[in-house]
């Protein structure tokens, strides 16, 4: 089984899947391999619908989130498709296994005052405050994913035109606008670097080496804790906040889709949640009868 898994993960890496995605696939498949070994199920028999049902039932023990279960099912589906292409399997067992519906969760985002508070906290941090401010300002300014931020080179920032070139999922490049506030924060940060060169990584850690995704998460966690926000926030919260705030100020879905790098517009539509106050405000401005005095 492990040889099959290794071959599948190598194919994902060759297709430029992100390291985080490959790691998630490896974890889910490792659980399946452990399940098969514990029950002494041969790899040729592991994909029998009966065994898959038992495995998926075990996955749901402890009442995990539905989307967690769905991700593991999706991993097994992709792995099965790979085995079918390689000729290791002749039938697709998932044709006989219905999948639970995806749980619809609203993105967790910060309000505009909370976002300002987070960034102001970074500005008052004892160490590396210029870098931390630039990091948070850029994430909020352009709605970047964690891997996209850590993958940036200095040359990817177009200070003249106010754009950043991002390498997103599937190795697809896109250009995203950057606010003047974020650009100034980046300039202030780069001024602290010794002779920065265009092809150098934009964000460095305390050792002067490229900042990793885990390093970014560590910075964000400490800043969020110091901000004393009354909610749990993650690096992705700034991406959600970016999208929510843009829509709240009149950005159209198609433009937001391009900036977020979403393949499907349906993925972007999750951000159409707005407060009742925003909805009422738009209604009052748009409906002709709402403007008539009573």
Together in a domain, 191 and 238: yes
Catalytic residue among 131, 240, 245, 262: 262
Q: How many domains does the chain have?
A: 2
Q: Which is more confidently placed, 157 or 63?
A: 157
The model's confidence at residue 141, banded by pLDDT at 50, 70 and 90, is very high
Q: For residue 293, what pLDDT is reported?
A: 47
Give the H or E element holding residue 218: helix 213-227
Together in a domain, 137 and 253: yes
Catalytic residue among 131, 239, 240, 245: 239
Q: Which is more confidently placed, 121 or 46?
A: 121
Together in a domain, 57 and 163: no
Together in a domain, 248 and 149: yes
Strand order in the sheet with 163-167: 157-158, 163-167, 173-177
187 CA to centre of own chain: 26
Phi-psi region of 62 (alpha: psi -120 to 50; beta: other; left: phi over 0): left
Select from 230, 226, 235, 238 the least CA-distant residue to 129. Answer: 226
Beta-carbon contacts of 111 under 8 Å, excluding residues fewer than 6 positions away, are none
Considering the domain boundaries, does residue 42 fall inside one? Answer: yes
Q: Buried b vs exposed e over 26-55: b needs ≥16 C-beta within 10 Å?
A: bebbeebbebbeeeebebeebbeeebbeeb
Together in a domain, 196 and 136: yes
Task: State yes or no: is 145 an active-site residue.
Answer: yes
Q: For residue 190, what pLDDT is reported?
A: 96
pLDDT digits (tens, 9 = 90+) for 170-186: 778 899 999 999 999 99
Catalytic residue among 72, 145, 240, 245: 145
Flag whether pLDDT at 294 surpasses 60. no
Select from 231, 278, 238 the least CA-distant residue to 260. Answer: 238
Most confident of 21-30, 193-202, 271-280: 193-202
Task: State yes or no: is 289 an active-site residue.
Answer: no
Task: State yes or no: is 239 an active-site residue.
Answer: yes
Considering the domain boundaries, does residue 161 fall inside one? Answer: yes
What is the extent of the structural domain holding 15?
2-96
Catalytic residue among 169, 174, 193, 273: 169
pLDDT digits (tens, 9 = 90+) for 237-258: 889 899 888 988 888 889 989 9
3-state secondary structure of 123: helix
Task: State yes or no: is 271 an active-site residue.
Answer: yes
Considering the domain boundaries, does residue 292 fall inside one? Answer: no
- Hey, what long-range contacts does 110-114 have (CB within 8 A, 24 or more apart)? 110/229, 110/231, 110/233, 110/237, 110/238, 110/240, 110/241, 112/245, 114/227, 114/229, 114/231
In the block, tokens 């159409």 appear at 272
In the block, tokens 């941090």 appear at 125
CA 40/CA 1 separation, integer angstroms: 12
CA 239/CA 226 separation, integer angstroms: 20
Is residue 171 within 8 A of residue 16, CB to CB? The reply is yes
Considering the domain boundaries, does residue 102 fall inside one? Answer: no
């Amino acid at each position: 089984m492990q040889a099959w898994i290794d071959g599948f993960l190598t194919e994902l890496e060759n297709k430029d899947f992100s390291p985080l995605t490959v790691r998630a696939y490896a974890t889910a498949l490792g659980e399946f391999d452990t399940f098969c070994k514990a029950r002494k199920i041969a790899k040729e028999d592991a994909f029998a619908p009966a065994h898959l049902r038992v495995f998926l039932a075990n996955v749901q023990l402890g009442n995990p989130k539905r989307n967690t279960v769905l991700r593991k099912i999706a991993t097994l589906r992709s792995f099965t498709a790979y085995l079918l292409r390689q000729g290791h399997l002749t039938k697709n067992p998932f044709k006989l296994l219905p999948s639970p519906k995806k749980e619809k969760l609203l993105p967790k985002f910060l309000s505009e005052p909370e976002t300002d508070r987070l960034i102001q906290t970074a500005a008052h941090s004892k160490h590396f405050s210029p870098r931390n401010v630039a990091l948070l300002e850029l994430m909020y300014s352009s709605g970047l994913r964690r891997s996209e931020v850590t993958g940036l080179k200095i040359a990817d920032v177009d200070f003249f035109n106010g754009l950043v070139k991002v390498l997103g999922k599937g190795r697809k490049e896109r250009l995203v606008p950057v606010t003047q506030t974020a650009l100034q924060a980046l300039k202030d940060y780069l001024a602290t670097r010794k002779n920065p060169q265009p092809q150098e990584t934009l964000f460095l850690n305390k050792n002067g080496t490229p900042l990793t995704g885990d390093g970014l998460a560590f910075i964000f966690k400490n800043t969020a804790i110091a901000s004393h926000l009354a909610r749990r926030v993650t690096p992705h919260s700034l991406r959600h906040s970016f999208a929510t705030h843009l829509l709240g100020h009149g950005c159209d879905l198609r433009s937001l889709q391009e900036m977020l790098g979403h393949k499907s517009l349906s993925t972007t539509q999750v951000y159409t949640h707005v407060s009742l106050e925003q909805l009422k405000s738009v209604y009052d401005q748009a409906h002709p009868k709402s403007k008539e005095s009573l």
